[in-house]
Structure formats: structure tokens, C-alpha cells
Amino acid sequence: MPEEEPPAPGQAGDGQGPGGAIELIELQEEMERSFLEYSMSVIVSRALPDVRDGLKPVHRRILYSMYEQNLRPDRPHAKCAKAVGEVMGNYHPHGDAAIYDALARMAQDFSLRHPLIDGHGNFGGRGPEEGPAAMRYTECRLAPIAMEMLAGIDEETIDFVPNYDATTVEPTVLPARFPNLLVNGSQGIAVGMATNIPPHNLGEVIDAVVYVLEHPDATPDDLLRFVQGPDFPTGALILGRQGILDAARTGRGSIKLRAVAEIEERRGTSRIVVTDIPFQTSVEVIEQKIGELVEAGTLEGIADTQNDSHGGQPRLVIQLKRDANPNVVLNNLFKHTPLQTNFPVNMVALVDGVPRTLNLAQLVSHYVDHQIEVVTRRSRFRLDKAERRAHIVEGLLRAIDMLDAVIAAIRAAEDRPAARTALCSEPFSFSEEQAEHILDMTLARLTRLGRSNLEEELTELRATIAELQAILADDARLRGVIGEELRAIRDRYADPRRTRIVHDPGDLGVEDLVADDPLVITMTRAGYVKAVPASSFRTQARGGRGVQGAKLKDEDLVTQVVHTSALSHLLLFSNRGRVYRLRGHEVPVKDRSARGTPVVNLLPLEPGERIQAVISTRELDPERYLLFCTKDGQVKKTALAEYDKSRREGFIAIALRDGDELVRVVPTSGEDDLLLVSRSGMAIRFNEAEVRPMGRDAAGVRGMRLKPGDDVVSCDVVRPEADLLVVTDAGYGKRTKVEHFPRQGRGGQGVRAIRLTARRGEVVGALMAALDQEVLVVSSAGVVIRTAVRQVAAQGRDATGVRLMSLDDDQRVAAVALVVQEDED
């Protein structure tokens, strides 16, 4: 085949178009390069402030453009639309909305600690829906303090560069005669980085700058002697100093802000009045969040909210219900609403066009370096100007001294250039600048008064020149000038702190969020638990019948009642020897007549596991003990403090042998007598001192020796005012004085507590009962009888008891328990 001729230059296939304008490149390389250029443009030209003046390009262009338009504090306001148009047309070729948003923010006294724009009209509020009015309605001019940002800009203190279309020039940075970056703060999101610098107090920051002027090696801790911390325009409270220290030392930190709120009592009800709110939130947002949480049930005790804000001063009134605890409600508001927020400090700024994270000392040092350059360049400008003027004045004075000769030379000249040449020649030898000014002299300057004025001006000029030369020659004197000028600005504009720094109470715990109300916790034999406010039960005299309790199924009954409070600890012991821990407030509060919540919904119980005992304690006192008794007759005494663990999944309370179960857990004082009763009717009484304290996972020691087939059904602490009530499964029972049970050593078989026969059955329950109490007996068929303890016959240990409940042949007594007295005696 004939070889193909290569395409001619400029034709398709050579990688170039006409004239070689097309270049083939890798797509990946182009994407990387383009994204890098884009990200750097966002970082440098849009999102991050310069460390020297604390401004982003749009803010700098707005201030400079308004300065150029003479929109100064002593001039009338002008339409914001005019200011925005000039900025957009000359310096910032982007959308007018972005420019106006930046301008409006610089006029908001709740966004900047010292606003740079003096606005006239509606520039927006703190709420998300309160944006500024359209720019055609609002007016603006520079605020007085903004003139300090631009002071000396006409004295060659900073560099200028061509604007975007090279029709004019714009400043690369403003002179910034006060440390604007720290005073007003800055926020911005760039590509891959962000900045969030909080505002500070002008007086404090200037004091820190003056200190760095005198001590260039100052550390952040040195400056914290002057700068207490951020000073937000909206006031509020800063909790603790740790976030301030982190931010000052590293440039990063989290500052906890909290609203100023007071609890007021009015007409028998309480209300919370919120005044200062955290930075960058609003009363409307807080009120909306409260409404959502109240509707969801997260916040309780709030009846109504009312926004009483006016004149730019926030005020939110939160009306509470009559039974609400104001402190608990307030703590919940702090936890769940923007009444308490965190301000994440991330002090990133551009240093020589490069983004850097800076600590407090570095921020101040870079600003000081900028001021040294500004004042140095200003001094050189003023020195050059003074020297040039002194040179002119010297020439004018010399001209007056030889006035006749000067006039003759001028009159002899044909025109102005000839006259200037004559003055620059012998015998005058004036410079061209001097000659021009001589030619411009008026007749009034030729008088004696004119000479004296020139001599005074020359004296002042020489003094100025000497001072400027001294400043430029002495770094300490230069720094002193900067310090004096900063102090003057401080005296003119500084005001007291608005944000107070208070002690940080720490993270809000359950103690802060829950009212410690008294509760009655009840547990039923079927495993239902509930909490009822103690106020639900009326006070009755001793011996009263109480009030209606839970409506239970026929075969169920309340086995345990614990008077406790919402913040107390509940230790729940299961038949498997495990203990679970809850706080009182974690048990669902139910109506007095409600059945309750299955305990398996609150605790991770295993199949067949049931709660045998509930112990309430406010503090896990190491001087108190718990005594455990198992079905096989084992007993163990352990200090209450051993169970100071918060593992919700439970942990071992007593080590059980195979087939053994926990029967009872009773709190003891360390000196009590214990009474164990077995199913066969035997009982043993011994002092707990015979059981030494053991650890949680110990199995205990023998408390009662049992015959084969027998097991322990009850264990109780002996009380002098109570009798031992024994009930059998055949429906018989009796009560016996505790004096009939002699104290023995532990580990024996005990003595007879009731004589059992085939007709009497086996012991199903035994408990200590006072005469003024009542007992419930439940049959296997669900029949329940209620009997006063004093109506049960008192008999000796060897007696067989009397009938308490009539049963059919196929029925037995299933359980026995004291009537729950849920009233407060």
C-alpha cells in the first residue's frame, strides 16, 4: 500500500488548529490546575480576611469606594444602591446582592462589635426572616471609626494595584489604624478551610497591641492579661475560660455561650425572662425551637412563650406551669435550645497571601508589623513633603532678602521661562522648584508680615523634619508613636465589655435537668413497675386504709413499695443474683390507678429472670449493708458502696450455686437480728454480726441448714414492734411474737415456726408484720382476700395456725404480701 502523506501543518491531526492555537492536554491535569486556581481565588480573593486589616476584598472595596465618593461621617447619607453600584462598577465585578449583603452586615450592630457603616433604614434583624430592606430604600455613609481604617491612605501608606479593568486603582490593604480583625471578628468558608474569629473588646485589644509594641516576644498568656476573651456585640455569658485559653494559645477552641435569663415570681406562678442571647441566634429561632420541643414532649413545664423584643433589645418571656420547677426548666432550655450555644473559634487569616491558623500573639504581632510599615511609610511621605516645602520656603525667604534684584531680573525677562532661567542662574542660584514659587508669589507675600509668616512656617517645618527623622531613625520611638495613636483611638471609641465571663458549671447532668420530686415506686409480683408522685396520696392517720392503688389482675399483687425521689438510686436485684441500677426518674410516672410498665421494658432481663428486691438509696453509704438470702439457705453481707456502678446491663450481686436462687435482699445497719423461714416451717434467728462483709461476687456463708427437699422462703430483719406472720399454701396462718425465737448461731436448722401437717400444707410466705398493718393473700385461682394482721390469731411456735382463706381442693395459696400503704403517715 502506498504510504500516507502526513497532514500539512494546521490541518486536522497535527494537534494544532489554524496558526497553532490548539494545544492537547490531559483532562486530569486541566481539572487539577483549574480547581487549584479556583480554590486559591476563593481563599485569597473572597472568603478569608487579611491579617493586617481584617477585611475581605469586598469589604475593603466597599469602604474605599465610599471614601472616594465622600460618603463620610460629616456628609449626608446616600442611597445604598448608589454605593453598591460604584463598588460593582469600579472594583468588584460580581453580583450586587453579594455586595449589598456585605455592606448591610457592616451596618448591623448585632453582627459587628463596632459597625463600620452608619446605616439609615432597615438593615435587617437577628431573625432568619429579618433581612435588610432593598438597597433602593436604605441609605449609608461611613461610620466615624471606619475613618480610622482609612486614615493615611492618601499618604502612600499602602500599595495600590489596577482594578479589574485597569481603569483605576484600588488598595491592596487598608491602613487599619485599629486592630479590626480581632475587634470585629470575621467568618468565611473557603475551599478546604474556614475561618471563625470572634469579636473582642476594642480597649482590651488595643492594650494588648500596645504591650506587644513594647514587648515583641509576648506570648498568648501574656496577652490574656489584657484580653479577657471575646466580647460579642449581643452580650450574653461565656461559661468558663478553657475555650478562651485554647483559642488564644492555638487559634482553635470552643467557647460556650449562654443567654442571660432570670426567674421571676408573679401572682403565684414563675416565668423565665431572657434578655441577652448568644451571638448569631435570635429570639424567633429560640421561640420556634421551644415550641417544637414542647410539642414533642421533650420540654415540660412550659405554658407559653412571648416575644417582647423592641428597639433592637431582645426579650423573651417564658411562662411556666404552676407545678413546674423553674431551675429544671431553665436547665433543659439551656440543654435543648439555642439559649446555650458553642462558638467554634478557628482563627485563620491570610498572611502574605497564604492562609494560616494564628494564635492571639501571632495575630497581634502581624498587626503590629503592619502598623510599623504604615507609620514608617507615612513618616517618610510626610518627611519628604516637609523637606520639599522647607526647600520652597527657604527660597522664598532668600528671594525676599534680595527682592529688588529678583524683581529687576523678572522684569528684564521676556517671558516666564526666561524669568525662571534667570532666577536659576547666578547670582540667585534658585532651584527650579524655588523659582516657580517665586514667580507665583503675590504682592502680599512681599510685605514684612509675609516674611514673618514664612519664618514661622520654616521653624515649624524644621521641627517637623527633625521629629520625623528621629522617628524613622529610632524603632522604639516609632513604636511609641503607634502606641500613642492607638491609645487615642481607644479613648475615643472603646466602651465597656458586653459579654461577661462566668464560671462554667460543666455539662448539665441529670441533677440539673430533673426535679428531685418525691416518688412512690411499686413493683408487682407479675413484674410491673411504676412511679407515682407522692403528692397523689393524701395524708391519713395511722391505721387508715390508704387510697386506691393500682388496678391489677386478680392473680397479681404489689410485692414491694419504695418511697424514694426522682434523683435517688434504685438497686433492683433479680432471682439470678444480678443487680440492675436505675434512677427514680427513669421509672415511668403513671397514674395512681395504672397498672404500670413491665420491668423487662426497662431492664435487660433474661427469660425466667424476675426482680426479687428493690432498694432505694440517696447515697451509697459505705456504713450501710445489704444482706442477701438464697433459696438454699446461703446468706451474704456486702457494703452498699460495693454497688456504686452505673452499668445498665447489670452485674453480679451474689454468686449462686447451680439451682439456687436469690430470695430476699434486705438493708441492714450492721447490728440487726435476722430471721430466716423455710418451706417446712423451720426458722432461725441470728445476729448479722456473724456474717462478715464480703465482696460482690462472693457466694456467702451458710445461714440455715436445710433438710433435703426444703428451701428458704423468707428472710427479714427482726423488728421489736412486729410479729412473724406465717402463711401456708393450704390457707392457714398465724402470728408469733419474735421473743419466741431465741437467738442462735448461724448455720443451724433453727426451731419450729409452725407445725405443719398434710392438711396444713407447706409455708408459702413469712414476713414481719405490725398489728396496724394488713395482709393480702392470693390464691392460685386469682382470689384475693385482705385481712388485718391483728385479726390473725397469735399462737406459739408449735401451733398449726388458723384458717385465713378457704380454698377448693385444686387451689393453693400462691402469694402473700403486706398491703401497700401508699399514703404518707
Taking alpha carbons only, the member of 240, 235, 206 closest to residue 223 is 206
Contact 243, 499 (CB under 8 A): no
Taking alpha carbons only, the member of 784, 778, 787, 775 closest to residue 812 is 778
Taking alpha carbons only, the member of 250, 226, 229 closest to residue 241 is 229
Describe the chain by its helix, strand, coil percentages, rounded to 5: 30, 25, 45
CA 584 to centroid of chain Cα atoms: 28
Contact 537, 503 (CB under 8 A): no
The alpha-helical segments, DSSP class H, found in 474-533 are: 475-493, 510-513
Task: Give the neighbor-by-neighbor strand order of the sheet with 673-678.
Answer: 712-717, 673-678, 682-687, 751-752
> CA-CA distance, 522 to 193, in Å (whole number)?
57
Q: Is 64 a catalytic residue?
A: no
Contact 792, 735 (CB under 8 A): yes
For the CA atoms of 37, 39, 40, 41, the dihedral, rounded to the nearest 10 degrees, stands at: 80
CA 206 to centroid of chain Cα atoms: 28
> CA-CA distance, 632 to 624, in Å (whole number)?
25
DSSP code for 587? S
Q: Which of 64, 91, 137, 528 is catalytic?
A: 137
Residues 250-284 as b/e (b if ≥16 CB within 10 A, e otherwise) read: ebbbebbbbbbbeeeeeeeebbbebbbbbbbbbbb
> CA-CA distance, 26 to 295, in Å (whole number)?
58
For the CA atoms of 214, 156, 379, 383, the dihedral, rounded to the nearest 10 degrees, stands at: 170
Give the H or E element holding residue 560: strand 558-565
Cell digits of residue 153: 491612605
Concatenating the DSSP letter of every residue in 707-758 gives -TT--EEEEEE--TT-EEEEEETTSEEEEEEGGGS-B--TTS--EESS---T
Contact 436, 420 (CB under 8 A): yes
Concatenating the DSSP letter of every residue in 592-613 gives TT---EEGGGTS-PPTT--EEE
Rounded to a whole number of angstroms, the CA Rg of the chain reads 45
97 contacts: CB under 8 Å, gap ≥ 6 = none
DSSP code for 4? P
For the CA atoms of 271, 275, 280, 286, the dihedral, rounded to the nearest 10 degrees, stands at: 20
> CA-CA distance, 480 to 472, in Å (whole number)?
12
Contact 598, 528 (CB under 8 A): yes
Query: What is the set of active-site residues?
Result: 137
